[in-house]
Amino acid sequence: MIPTRRAVLAATLLAPGLARAQPWAPTRPVRFVVPFPAGGATDVVARVLGERMQEALGQPVVVENRAGAGGNIGVEAVVRSPADGSTILMGTTGTLTVNPHLYATLGFDPLRDLSPVSMAFTTDHVLVVNPAVAANTAQDFLALARAQPGRLSYGSAGAGSSTHTVAELFKLAAQVDITHVPYRGSAPAMNDLVAGTVQAMLDQLPSAIGQIRGGRVRALAVTGPRRSALLPDVPTMAEIGLPDAQATSWGAVMAPAGLPAPAVARFNAAIRDALDQQAVKARLAAAGAEGASSSAEELGAFLRAESAKWARVVRDARITVN
């Protein structure tokens, strides 16, 4: 049957409204950039999330590891990508809120050149010492460090890494002098801690838990706002009298600046849905991470606060990178 002129006109007038009612969806596979090598906590969370997000988005979500320069290479790859929903980033504490204060010639500003989408996960750090150190509690360790300024040393994954900046935050809060020994990654730093070459480390909990459970290092305090379910007997920094040493490493999903609001909303909903699933919670917990979603606006405010916090630590601790 041939439609009447009135029917054609009605359909024409309704079409824009129908188009607006349709939720945004990606039209091709989504590239999920992780600015670190495969296998770490950030990579694991991105892969777990990506698997679930693609079910909600109707397109494959492909994790791409773009490591180098403290994560800056991967972040810049996303900054330079089109803001069309084809590329997202798993940003971290360091790449989004520490590196801008460490690298004078970064060439981009994560808070300006990326769109917040949602928080994704958090992990705590844990103060660990070699068992030969005469400190069974955090208070013992602080007393030892104050009695011997500069004699004790701590290992980190390298200048500017979270295991460096969190340790410097701890030093500022505790007003202790402990010598920094940078390594090329957390694993060699932990190996030297176990060997007794360095005496302490503020490692990420997922990396340290095996050595703690094996008795090769002793856990004295965690940096999160509450005790970890993995170490229920270990106090928080606030409990040992150092609330200003509280810190978490975190991951957040970002996109190129200018991503349209409907796309941000769709990605945000997909992330929230994934993190609400019990199977996802279990897989993240096994990796030592805790899922943590947010609105885009909440994430933006959080990033600004974190940037100010780490700017102070970098300045006051005089942290530099080679």
How does pLDDT run along the chain (322 residues), one tens digit per residue?
Answer: 444 545 444 444 444 544 444 689 999 999 999 998 887 778 888 999 999 999 999 999 999 999 888 889 999 999 999 999 999 999 999 899 999 999 988 899 999 999 999 999 999 999 999 999 999 999 999 999 999 999 999 999 888 888 899 999 999 999 999 999 998 778 889 999 999 999 999 998 888 888 999 999 999 999 999 999 889 999 999 999 999 999 988 999 999 999 999 999 999 999 999 999 999 999 888 777 899 999 999 999 999 999 999 999 899 888 888 5
What does the alpha-carbon distance between residue 154 and residue 152 come to, in Å, rounded to a whole number? 7
Whether 174 is covered by a domain: the verdict is yes
Residues 256 and 109 in one domain: yes
Task: Say if CB 146 and CB 309 are below 8 A apart.
Answer: no
Q: Is the dihedral of CA 46, 52, 57, 62 positive or negative?
A: positive
Q: Supply the CATH number for residue 69's domain.
A: 3.40.190.150
Q: Supply the CATH number for residue 176's domain.
A: 3.40.190.10
Instruction: Write down the residue that tokens 């939720």 correspond to.
Output: 23
Residues 136 and 107 in one domain: no
**pLDDT at position 16:** 52
Residue 318, sorted as left (phi over 0), alpha (psi -120 to 50) or beta, turns out to be: left
CA distances in angstroms from 159 to 103, 153, 166, 275, 303, listed in the order given: 12, 14, 11, 32, 21
Helix (H, G, I), strand (E, B) or coil at 277: coil
Residues 119 and 142 in one domain: no
CA distances in angstroms from 7 to 10, 14, 17, listed in the order given: 5, 11, 16
**pLDDT at position 1:** 45
CA angle centred on 12, ends 6 and 15, rounded to 5°: 140
Picking from 223, 245, 267, the residue at the C-terminal end of a domain is 245
How many beta carbons lie within 10 A of that of residue 130, not counting itself? 19
Whether 116 is covered by a domain: the verdict is yes
What does the alpha-carbon distance between residue 149 and residue 141 come to, in Å, rounded to a whole number? 12
Picking from 214, 245, 276, the residue at the C-terminal end of a domain is 245
Task: Say if CB 70 and CB 105 are below 8 A apart.
Answer: no
**pLDDT at position 322:** 59
**pLDDT at position 7:** 47
CA distances in angstroms from 273 to 50, 230, 242, listed in the order given: 12, 25, 36
**pLDDT at position 59:** 96
Largest CA distance in the chain: 94
Which range marks the domain in which residue 152 is found? 130-245
Residues 253 and 293 in one domain: yes
